[in-house]
Amino acid sequence: MSKRDKLELVKNLQSKRKTGTSVTFLPDTKVFKGEDGKPSITFDPSRLSGRMNEIAYLNAGLVLTITDNRESAKKKAGETEVYYHAGGLAEYAAMLCRTKAPLMGDNAPKRSGG
């Protein structure tokens, strides 16, 4: 499913449903400090993206979106990513195997029914 298809899916679902949960996370700079101990928070977008993707695989059919409101050289502010995997873990296994060669090929032993 392409990024555009996923965004269309979310818009379609939002127009049909009036339920769901929206979570906004804004960390307190008094609690979370940067590496130098000063109030400074930097999120690792690839880590957040990876975790959202994992959650979407573990919960088949769940639609998760994350919006980054920061401006950067790679992305414009407000860009949204959508995570949706209807096939759940089976889809995850297929994705992992997509780039792998079979270990046994056509010479794999046949299983007997029973």
Cβ-in-10-Å burial (0-12, 13-18, 19+) of 10 comes to middle
HSE value, Cβ hemisphere, 13 Å, CA-based, for 43: 17
Q: Are 63 and 84 in contact (CB under 8 A)?
A: yes
pLDDT tens, residue by residue, 3-27: 677 767 767 766 666 667 777 777 7
Which residues does residue 82 pair with via DSSP β-bridges, in sequence order? 65
Give the pLDDT score at 54: 94
Q: Which secondary structure element, helix H or strand E, spans residue 26, and what is its range?
A: none
pLDDT tens, residue by residue, 29-73: 777 777 777 767 778 888 999 999 999 999 998 889 888 887 777
Residue type, 18: K
Confidence bin at 1 (pLDDT 50/70/90)? low
Give the integer Cα–Cα distance in Å for 40 and 85: 34
Give the pLDDT score at 26: 78
